[in-house]
Amino acid sequence: MRVVILCSSVYSETACAMAVRLAEVGHVPVGVLTLSTLNRGTVLRKIGQWGVREVARYARAKLSPQSGAGLAKAHNPYLQPRLKHKDGIFRSLREVSSSYGFPLMVCNHQNAPPSIAQLRTWSPDLILFTGGNILRRQLLEVPRLGVLNLHLGLLPEIRGMSSPEWSLLKHVPVGVTIHYMDAGIDTGPILQRYEFPDGAACESLSDLRNRLIAFGVEKIGEIVSSIDRSTISATPQSALPEDRQFFVMHEWLQGQAAQCLAKTRTAVTVHG
Q: Residue 90 pLDDT > 90, yes or no?
A: yes
Please list the alpha-helical segments (H only) found in the chain.
Answer: 13-24, 40-50, 52-63, 80-83, 93-100, 113-122, 137-140, 163-169, 205-228, 251-271
CA distance to 29, 91, 127, 161, per residue, from 68 (Å): 29, 14, 36, 38
Highest mean pLDDT among 49-58, 142-151, 235-244: 142-151
Q: How far apart are the C-alpha atoms of 35 and 9, rounded to whole Å?
A: 5
Percentage above 90 pLDDT, the chain: 79
The pLDDT tens digits for 63-72 are: 666 555 445 7
Percentage above 70 pLDDT, the chain: 85
The pLDDT tens digits for 182-229 are: 999 999 999 999 999 999 899 999 999 999 999 999 999 999 999 999
| pLDDT for the residue numbered 158 | 97
pLDDT band per the 50, 70, 90 thresholds, residue 50:
low
Give the mean model confidence (pLDDT) for residues 250-262. 95
